[in-house]
């Protein structure tokens, strides 16, 4: 347990990457994408329990993480239950926001830059992409036709679109049609740019402060 706590930021980062790369990993090792996503999500929730140290964030993480994990497992075995899917989306959306807040707060409060802080910052950026993906998924389910897909294969397309919006790539294969989808795309773009700009400035400031204090 001590080792898990020591490497908790590395754990949540690699669990997030495993979730994002689930389709590629599935193709390479021959395991169904749903199983890889399920395992990755489970690791993310347990890592979330470890990184939450303050009382209120920890309580919220435990409650939302448990509810989200239960809904994810139920959805895996009973994929036709629409209400379970809605609950999973909303719960995971709130959970990802809380985890992002915890990681950002940890970076701000840290007095020096080390490997754990770097992995925590990278995990926060990946979480922003996942938050956007869940938001697009909820929006499309609530208002079908909000997003135009060149060829929609699975719900993973929402997360793919979120990440390319976050990094301002924009391949053009997915297009927001409704005003809500367009504004969400703008919000994700702004969040990505602010995160990288402020994060870089914060890292440089802490590094210089730590070097001068020596």
Separation between Cα atoms, residue 68 and residue 171, nearest integer Å: 32
Segment 11-24 shows an average pLDDT of 94
Tell me if 19 is assigned to some domain: yes
Tell me if 22 is assigned to some domain: yes
Percent share of the chain, pLDDT over 70: 94
Strands in the chain per DSSP E:
147-149, 174-176
Tell me if 152 is assigned to some domain: yes
Separation between Cα atoms, residue 118 and residue 56, nearest integer Å: 24
**Per-residue pLDDT at 114 exceeds 90:** no
Tell me if 213 is assigned to some domain: no
pTM listed for this prediction: 0.91
The encoded tokens of residue 69 equal: 């994990």
- The larger pLDDT score, comparing residue 200 to residue 87, is at 87
**Per-residue pLDDT at 4 exceeds 70:** no
How many domains are contained in the chain?
Answer: 1
| Residues contacting 31, CB < 8 A, separation 6+ | 25
Burial label for 214, CB within 10 Å (0-12, 13-18, 19+), is exposed
| Residues contacting 68, CB < 8 A, separation 6+ | 41, 45, 88, 91, 92, 95
**Spatial contact of 91 and 62, defined as CB atoms under 8 Å apart:** no
Segment 66-91 shows an average pLDDT of 89
**Spatial contact of 50 and 4, defined as CB atoms under 8 Å apart:** yes
**Spatial contact of 16 and 127, defined as CB atoms under 8 Å apart:** yes
Segment 165-172 shows an average pLDDT of 84
The encoded tokens of residue 149 equal: 């897909």
Q: How far is CA 107 from CA 83, 88, 122, in A?
A: 36, 28, 11
Residue 172's H or E segment, with its range, is: none
Tell me if 84 is assigned to some domain: yes
Structural domain including 116 reads: 2-208
Tell me if 214 is assigned to some domain: no
Cβ atoms within 10 Å, residue 3: 8
The encoded tokens of residue 136 equal: 């697009």
The predicted structure's pLDDT at residue 102: 93
Cβ atoms within 10 Å, residue 168: 10
**Per-residue pLDDT at 203 exceeds 90:** no
Separation between Cα atoms, residue 169 and residue 34, nearest integer Å: 27
Tell me if 92 is assigned to some domain: yes
């Amino acid at each position: 347990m001590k080792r898990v706590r020591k490497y908790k930021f590395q754990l949540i980062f690699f669990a997030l990457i495993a979730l994002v790369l689930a389709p590629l990993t599935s193709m390479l090792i021959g395991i169904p994408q749903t199983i890889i996503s399920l395992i990755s999500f489970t690791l993310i929730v347990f890592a979330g329990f470890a990184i939450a140290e303050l009382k209120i964030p920890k309580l919220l993480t435990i409650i939302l993480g448990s509810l989200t994990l239960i809904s994810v497992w139920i959805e895996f075995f009973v994929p036709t239950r629409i209400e379970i899917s809605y609950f999973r989306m909303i719960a995971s959306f709130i959970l990802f926001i809380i985890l992002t807040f915890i990681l950002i707060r940890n970076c701000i409060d840290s007095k020096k830059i080390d490997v754990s802080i770097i992995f925590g910052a990278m995990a926060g950026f990946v979480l922003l992409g996942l938050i956007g993906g869940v938001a697009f998924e909820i929006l499309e389910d609530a208002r079908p036709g909000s997003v135009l897909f060149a060829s929609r294969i699975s719900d993973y397309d929402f997360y793919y679109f979120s990440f390319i919006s976050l990094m301002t790539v924009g391949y053009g294969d997915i297009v927001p049609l409704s005003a809500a989808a367009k504004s969400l795309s703008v919000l994700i773009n702004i969040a990505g740019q602010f995160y990288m700009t402020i994060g870089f400035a914060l890292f440089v400031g802490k590094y210089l402060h730590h070097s001068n204090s020596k």
